[in-house]
Structure 1
Amino acid sequence: MKYFEDFAVGEKRESPRRHLITEEEIMEFGNRWDYQPFHVDPEAAKASVFGGLVASSTHLFAVSVSLFCHKDLDSAGRSAAISALGFNNIKLKAPVRPGDELKCVSVVIEKRQSNSRPGAGILVMRNEVTNQREELVFIYEHAALYRLREAS
């Protein structure tokens, strides 16, 4: 388990797992959460600006979170996160297509103790999602509340 004290500004962590994006997953997510032709219909997607199916931004966000917060992670891969506080500077950098394998690198850009929550600190991180060709596809910053070790 990684606590607030274990993080350092400038520290980079690579996600311990990868996620393969499939055509079925793109269409399933699109049909449920983001019904656009280029997310749900391969034929219509061919006529779009993307020239084929692409994952939605909300799909990419969900995948990026799961790369660090997944039920299959062992205790060494988990952190003492309490709650997300907010997300900023969300940018789509390149389309994600079926067959792309995603990973995430998280960089600590700010660290401070919480003024309102004793026993907790706030980490701000920049998250960079890349595909198997190391192309940046999605980026965002997030702030989250983490437990201090001595408070646990």
Structure 2
Amino acid sequence: MTMQTRYFDDFELGEQWPIAETYEMTRDEIVSFAQKWDPQPFHVDEEAGKKSVYGTLTACGTHIQAVVLKLAQALPHETAVIGALGYDEIRFHKPACLDDVLSLTIECIEKRPSSSKPDRGVIKNRHTLVNQTGDTVFSQTTTLLIARKA
């Protein structure tokens, strides 16, 4: 099955895409990711996590951002992205804890055609990652350069 490609012209302000796929924060994944990228005790040692202010093992911030990118790949459409221009307003609202099940919603919050190149435009999306109880764990805005329809 071929996925529909969405272009700059197809985006609407306020449009939301709740991603059906979820991501479970398992012990093995939290520990292995953190051992390589952020080996703080509350990320790599379950007993240290229990004694920390979090009371459990938690995922590091880079891991959480990687989960957002992974879940975003489950959009039901392709996007004609030329390139990413930046991530802004990155916020860690709550820790992503052991056994959390995370889900992502993407919302179009800004849209503007390029002032110098008529074949493209800029889209800003808000990514919101929540846990199984609906608490926001992480949010960021992503600015993308996207092709216009020919």
Q: Do the structures match in fold with TM over 0.5?
A: yes
SS of 2:49's equivalent in the other structure is: helix
State the Cα distance separating 1:149 from its structure 2 match: 2.2
CA offsets 1:91-139 (integer angstroms, 9 cap, x no match): 1111111211111111111101123444211101111101111111101
User: Are the aligned partners of 1:55 and 1:95 in contact in 2 as well (CA < 8 Å)?
Assistant: yes
| Identical counterparts, % of pairs | 38
Structure 2 residue 60 is the aligned partner of structure 1 residue 64: no
Whichever residue aligns with residue 61 of structure 1, its letter is Q
Say how many residue pairs are matched.
146
Superposition TM-score, scaled by structure 1 size: 0.89
State the Cα distance separating 1:144 from its structure 2 match: 0.8
Query: In 2, Cα distance between the equivalents of 1:14 and 1:117?
Result: 31
State the Cα distance separating 1:69 from its structure 2 match: 2.0
Query: In 2, Cα distance between the equivalents of 1:62 and 1:27?
Result: 15
- Structure 1 spans left out of the alignment, 5+ residues: none
- Structure 2 spans left out of the alignment, 5+ residues: none
Whichever residue aligns with residue 21 of structure 1, its letter is M
Of 17, 34, 54, the match for 1:30: 34
Query: In 1, Cα distance between the equivalents of 2:38 and 2:117?
Result: 36
Partner of 1:115: 115
Query: In 2, Cα distance between the equivalents of 1:116 and 1:61?
Result: 31
More displaced stretch, 114-123 vs 140-149: 114-123
Whichever residue aligns with residue 108 of structure 2, its letter is V
Runs of 4+ displaced beyond 3 Å: none
CA RMSD of aligned residues (A): 1.5
State the Cα distance separating 1:3 from its structure 2 match: 1.5
Query: In 1, Cα distance between the equivalents of 2:71 and 2:77?
Result: 10
Of 15, 19, 37, the match for 1:15: 19
Structure 2 residue 86 is the aligned partner of structure 1 residue 86: yes
Structure 2 residue 59 is the aligned partner of structure 1 residue 52: no
Query: In 2, Cα distance between the equivalents of 1:56 and 1:34?
Result: 7
Partner of 2:142: 142
> In the superposition, relative to structure 1, how do residues 60 and 78 fare at CA in structure 2: closer, same or farther (>3 Å)?
same
Query: In 1, Cα distance between the equivalents of 2:117 and 2:27?
Result: 43
SS of 1:65's equivalent in the other structure is: helix
Of 31, 41, 45, the match for 2:45: 41
Superposition TM-score, scaled by structure 2 size: 0.90
CA offsets 1:17-53 (integer angstroms, 9 cap, x no match): 2111111110011011111111111111111111110
